Amino acid sequence: MQQNWIGRSEGARVEFTLEATGDKIPIFTTRPDTIYGVTFMVVAPEHPIVEKICTSGLIPEERVAAIRAFQEKMKHLSEIARTSTEAEKEGLYTGLDVINPFNGEKAQLWIANYVLMDYGTGAVMGVPAHDQRDFEFAQKYGLPVKVVIQNPEGTLRAEEMTAAYVEPGIMVNSGPFDGTPNLEGIPKVIAYAEEQGFGQKTVSYRLRDWLISRQRAWGAPIPIVYCDKCGTVPVPEKDLPVRLPDDLDFTGEGGSPLARHEGFVNTTCPQCGGPARRETDTMDTFVCSSWYFLRYTDPQNAEKAWNREDVDYWMPVDQYVGGIEHAVLHLLYARFFTKVLRDMGLVKVDEPFARLLTQGMVLKDGSKMSKSKGNTVSPEEMIAKYGADAVRLFIMFAAPPERDLDWSDAGIEGAARFVNRFYRMVVSALPAYQHARSLLPINPADPASVMGALSEAEIAEGLAKAAPNLTAEDRELRRVIHATVKRITADLHDRFAFNTAISGLMEMTNAIYAYREKQHAEQNTSALV
Report the sign of the C-alpha dihedral through residues 207, 213, 216, 219, in that order: positive
Nearest to 122 by CA among 194, 48, 53: 48
**Smallest gap from residue 105 Cβ to ligand ANZ (A):** 15
Query: CA–CA distance from 53 to each of 24, 64, 71, 72, 121 (Å)?
Result: 13, 8, 13, 16, 17
Where on the chain is the footprint of Zn ion (CB under 5 A)? Answer: 227, 229-230, 269, 271-272
Which residues ranging from 272 to 301 are in contact with ligand ANZ (CB under 6 A)?
none
DSSP 296: T
Q: Which is nearer to ligand ANZ, 121 or 280 (CB)?
A: 121
Residue span binding ligand ANZ (CB under 6 A) among the ranges 28-36, 182-190, 245-253, 300-308 = 28-36
Task: Establish if 9 lies at the interface with ligand ANZ (CB under 6 A).
Answer: yes
Cβ–Cβ contacts within 10 Å for residue 268, how many?
A: 12
Instruction: Report how many residues bind ligand ANZ under the rule CB under 6 A.
Output: 18
**Smallest gap from residue 137 Cβ to ligand ANZ (A):** 11
Task: Establish if 235 lies at the interface with ligand ANZ (CB under 6 A).
Answer: no
Q: Which is nearer to Zn ion, 79 or 228 (CB)?
A: 228
Strands of the sheet containing 266-268, edge to edge, are 231-234, 224-227, 275-278, 266-268
Q: Which does 17 bind (CB under 5 to 8 A by kind): Zn ion, ligand ANZ, none?
A: none
Q: Which does 70 bind (CB under 5 to 8 A by kind): Zn ion, ligand ANZ, none?
A: none
Q: Which does 352 bind (CB under 5 to 8 A by kind): Zn ion, ligand ANZ, none?
A: none
Q: Which is nearer to ligand ANZ, 114 or 291 (CB)?
A: 114
**Smallest gap from residue 225 Cβ to Zn ion (A):** 8
**Smallest gap from residue 280 Cβ to Zn ion (A):** 18
Task: Establish if 31 lies at the interface with ligand ANZ (CB under 6 A).
Answer: yes
Q: Which is nearer to Zn ion, 274 or 444 (CB)?
A: 274
Which residues ranging from 114 to 133 are in contact with ligand ANZ (CB under 6 A)?
114-116, 119-120, 122, 124-125, 127, 130-131
* Amino acid type, 5: W
Query: Are residues 103 and 175 in contact, defined by beta-carbon separation less than 8 angstroms?
Result: yes
**Smallest gap from residue 151 Cβ to ligand ANZ (A):** 14
Residue span binding ligand ANZ (CB under 6 A) among the ranges 30-38, 95-103, 154-162, 261-269 = 30-38
Nearest to 304 by CA among 351, 242, 346, 365: 346
**Smallest gap from residue 423 Cβ to ligand ANZ (A):** 58
Report the sign of the C-alpha dihedral through residues 361, 367, 372, 373, in that order: negative
Question: If phi over 0 gives left and psi between -120 and 50 gives alpha, with beta otherwise, what is residue 125?
Answer: beta
Q: Which is nearer to ligand ANZ, 198 or 394 (CB)?
A: 198
Query: Are residues 226 and 236 in contact, defined by beta-carbon separation less than 8 angstroms?
Result: no
DSSP 304: S
Q: Which is nearer to ligand ANZ, 4 or 55 (CB)?
A: 4
Q: Which is nearer to ligand ANZ, 46 or 281 (CB)?
A: 46
Length of the chain: 529
Q: Which does 34 bind (CB under 5 to 8 A by kind): ligand ANZ, Zn ion, none?
A: ligand ANZ
**Smallest gap from residue 228 Cβ to Zn ion (A):** 7
For residue 195, what are the contacts with CB-CB under 8 A and spacing of at least 6?
A: none
Q: Which is nearer to Zn ion, 239 or 517 (CB)?
A: 239
Query: CA–CA distance from 398 to each of 114, 402, 412 (Å)?
Result: 44, 11, 9
Q: Which does 229 bind (CB under 5 to 8 A by kind): Zn ion, ligand ANZ, none?
A: Zn ion
**Smallest gap from residue 242 Cβ to Zn ion (A):** 17
**Smallest gap from residue 113 Cβ to ligand ANZ (A):** 10
**Smallest gap from residue 419 Cβ to ligand ANZ (A):** 53
**Smallest gap from residue 176 Cβ to ligand ANZ (A):** 19
In a 10 Å sphere around its CB, with 0-12 CB exposed, 13-18 middle and 19+ buried, how is residue 79 labelled? exposed
Q: Which is nearer to ligand ANZ, 111 or 480 (CB)?
A: 111
**Smallest gap from residue 233 Cβ to Zn ion (A):** 6
Helix, coil or strand: residue 354? coil
Pairing of strands 106-112, 40-43: parallel
For residue 79, what are the contacts with CB-CB under 8 A and spacing of at least 6?
A: 116
Contacting residue, 204, 271, 500, 503, with ligand ANZ by CB under 6 A: 204
| Dist. CA 298–CA 421, nearest whole Å | 45
Q: Which does 119 bind (CB under 5 to 8 A by kind): Zn ion, ligand ANZ, none?
A: ligand ANZ
Query: Are residues 359 and 403 in contact, defined by beta-carbon separation less than 8 angstroms?
Result: no
Query: Are residues 119 and 83 in contact, defined by beta-carbon separation less than 8 angstroms?
Result: no
Q: Which does 130 bind (CB under 5 to 8 A by kind): ligand ANZ, Zn ion, none?
A: ligand ANZ
Query: Are residues 386 and 483 in contact, defined by beta-carbon separation less than 8 angstroms?
Result: no
The binding track of 34-73 with respect to ligand ANZ, each residue x by CB under 6 A or -, is x---------------------------------------
Q: Which is nearer to ligand ANZ, 27 or 227 (CB)?
A: 27
The alpha helices in 402-497, defined as continuous H runs, are 409-439, 456-466, 472-495
Nearest to 419 by CA among 383, 388, 390, 451: 390
Paired residues of 176 in beta bridges: none
- Write out the residues near ligand ANZ by the rule CB under 6 A: 9, 28-31, 34, 114-116, 119-120, 122, 124-125, 127, 130-131, 204
